[in-house]
């Protein structure tokens, strides 16, 4: 799909691996600049949630994937809305507003089947581009600067070490879900596995955009990363 619209002047992409902090930084940057933050991962999670509601979790992620592919569940059958309210991205499935139910480990184990499906990727990319036409946006994911908005002038790749990402994910579970029985080594293995999957996906693989600015956040605070991004953007704008 060729994109020629001037709206690309108002699109900033942040790609990077899971747990690198790109979503948190994207939210901070959007607030600082008066932009809207689009969380593309949350949209894929929302479609995963919709499929789970239709066929259930089943006995394992593998069985879930097999049934999903066998039944050929099209994204168009779901009434999913994505919009902004008070500068916050809202995702609604029918009349249900989705939030914490998108962040369970069980859902995370099944999202790859939806995120690897060409029909769902096309649908989510369409949603992202439609939003970008209407609003100045900052969007994070794993292929925003390579596949969805390849012509954007403002691209960043946010990275961090495995150890740091595992610690961040562990603290997230503790803070948001009050789960103190999670093993950080188990989280580290899950992230390593996710990295390999993301880099080797046939569709929308995790790549560093050729013209992206790479920022390693391992030893940086959130405010330090934010200031770096703002400095780079001031030079480009």
Q: What is the pLDDT of residues 63-97, one digit of tens each?
A: 999 999 999 999 999 999 999 998 889 999 999 99
The 8-class DSSP code of residue 137 comes to E
Q: Could you tell me if 93 and 17 lie in one domain?
A: no
Q: Is 232 exposed, middle or buried (0-12, 13-18, 19+ CB in 10 A)?
A: middle
The pTM score is 0.84
**Residue 108: which domain range?**
36-135
Tokens of 22: 């790109």
What are the tens digits of pLDDT across the range 133-169?
999 999 999 899 999 999 999 999 999 999 999 998 8
Tokens of 154: 């403002």
- Looking at the 3D structure of the chain, how many domains does it have? 2
190, part of any domain: yes
Is residue 93 a contact partner of residue 46, using CB atoms and an 8 Å limit? Answer: yes
- Look at residues 84, 106, 135 and tell me which one is the last residue of a structural domain: 135
Q: Could you tell me if 167 and 204 lie in one domain?
A: yes
- CATH number, domain containing residue 218: 3.40.50.300
237, part of any domain: no
Is residue 112 a contact partner of residue 89, using CB atoms and an 8 Å limit? Answer: no
pLDDT at 4 over 70: no
- Look at residues 80, 109, 135 and tell me which one is the last residue of a structural domain: 135
């Amino acid at each position: 799909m060729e994109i020629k619209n001037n709206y690309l002047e108002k699109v900033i992409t942040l790609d990077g691996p899971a747990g690198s902090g790109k979503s948190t930084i994207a939210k901070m940057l959007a607030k600082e600049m008066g932009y809207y933050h689009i969380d593309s991962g949350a949209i894929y999670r929302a479609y995963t949630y919709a499929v789970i509601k239709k066929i259930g979790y089943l006995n394992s992620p593998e069985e879930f994937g097999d049934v999903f592919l066998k039944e050929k569940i099209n994204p168009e059958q779901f009434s999913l809305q994505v919009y902004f309210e008070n500068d916050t991205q809202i995702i609604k499935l029918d009349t249900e507003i989705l939030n914490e139910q998108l962040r369970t480990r069980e859902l995370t184990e099944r999202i790859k089947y939806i995120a690897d499906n060409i029909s769902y990727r096309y649908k989510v990319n369409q949603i992202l581009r439609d939003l970008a036409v209407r609003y100045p946006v900052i969007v994070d994911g794993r292929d925003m600067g390579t596949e969805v908005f390849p012509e954007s002038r403002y691209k960043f790749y946010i990275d961090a070490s495995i150890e740091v990402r595992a610690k961040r994910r562990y603290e997230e579970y503790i803070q948001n879900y009050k789960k103190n029985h999670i093993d950080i080594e188990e989280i580290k293995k899950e992230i390593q596995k996710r990295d390999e999957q993301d880099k080797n996906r046939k569709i929308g693989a995790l790549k560093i955009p050729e013209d992206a600015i790479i920022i390693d956040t391992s030893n940086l605070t959130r405010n330090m990363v934010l200031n770096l991004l703002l400095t780079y953007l001031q030079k480009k704008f």
